[in-house]
Amino acid sequence: MSTDVVAIHHVSKIFDGGDNRVVALDNVSLTIAKGEMVGIMGPSGSGKSTLMTIIGLLDVPTSGTYLLDGIETSGLDRTAQAGVRNQKLGFIFQNFNLLPRLTALQNVALPMVYARVGMGEREARAKAALEAVGLGNRLNNRPNELSGGQKQRVAIARALVNNPAILLADEPTGALDSRTGHEIMALFRQLNREQGITVVVVTHDAEVGKQMDRIVSLRDGQLNMDALHEYYGINTDALGRVVTEVPHVG
The footprint of another protein (CB under 8 A) covers 53, 56, 58-59, 78-79, 82-83, 85-87, 91, 93, 97, 99, 101-102, 110-111, 113-116, 119, 158, 162
Q: Comparing C-alpha atoms, which of 147, 160, 170, 148 is closest to residue 190?
A: 160
Q: What is the separation, in whole angstroms, between the first and last Cα of the chain?
A: 13
What is the C-alpha to C-alpha distance for residues 74 and 113, in angstroms, rounded to an integer?
A: 26
Distance of closest approach, residue 246 Cβ to another protein, in angstroms:
25
Let me know: does 219 contact 211? Beta carbons within 8 Å: no
14 or 246: whose CB is closer to another protein?
Answer: 14
CB of 99 to another protein, least distance (A): 6
- Residue 162 or 244 having the CB closest to another protein: 162
Q: How far is the CB of 123 from another protein (least distance, A)?
A: 12
Of 149 and 164, the one with the shorter C-beta distance to another protein is 164
- Smallest distance from another protein to CB 169, Å: 12
CB closer to another protein out of 48 and 242: 48
**Helix residue ranges per DSSP H, 28-134:** 48-55, 78-88, 104-114, 119-132
Instruction: Determine contact, residues 170/202, Cβ cutoff 8 Å.
Output: yes
